[in-house]
Amino acid sequence: MTTDQAAREIAERSAAAMWAEDRASRALGMSIDAVGPGTATLRMTVRGDMVNGHDIGHGGLTFALADSAFAFACNSYNRRTVAAGAEIRFRRPTRAGDVLVATAVERERAGRDGLYDVTVTAGDEVVATFVGRSREVGGRFW
């Protein structure tokens, strides 16, 4: 097995262990499209019960999808890691029926800290950009 294959296997096993306990992401209808070392792609369809009083997708749920992609990316090394901070920029509103795809990519990792960029799209359009800062808290998934 190559080093790349081993790193991908660690990411996939870590994601499976984390997903098994992630009731929030599952309840929101998210699914994992891909995981790898420092990366993750999740998707979620905006349901009718996810729109706000303006009849657009609730920004907090777009944030939740981005945050989950960030979580799977920063936990892909089998080291328990949590968010130390995050921010989001909404680029355009979402609507019921939109399929949102959040792709998280590690920008840097040093010691116990990490920085991740997440892009959320609906089709070919970017609907939000998210930056998450992570902190390893100790422990492993398996």
> Domain map of the chain by residue range?
3-136
Asked if pLDDT for residue 79 goes beyond 90, the answer is yes
Share of the chain above pLDDT 90, in %: 99
Asked if pLDDT for residue 89 goes beyond 90, the answer is yes
Q: Looking at the DSSP assignment, which residues form a beta bridge with residue 135?
A: 82, 113
Segment 16-27 shows an average pLDDT of 98
- The CA-atom distances, in angstroms, between 141 and each of 15, 18, 38, 82 are 9, 7, 16, 13
Q: Using CA atoms, how far apart are residues 92 and 21, in angstroms rounded to an integer?
A: 32
- Sequence-distant (6+) residues with CB within 8 A of 33 are 41, 42, 43, 101
Mean confidence (pLDDT) of the chain: 98
> Residue 44's pLDDT is what?
99
Assess contact for 102 and 35: CB atoms under 8 A.
Answer: no
Read off the pLDDT of residues 33-74 as tens digits, 9 standing for 90 and up: 999 999 999 999 999 999 999 999 999 999 999 999 999 999
Q: Which CATH architecture has domain 3-136?
A: Roll (3.10)
Asked if pLDDT for residue 1 goes beyond 90, the answer is no
Asked if pLDDT for residue 90 goes beyond 90, the answer is yes
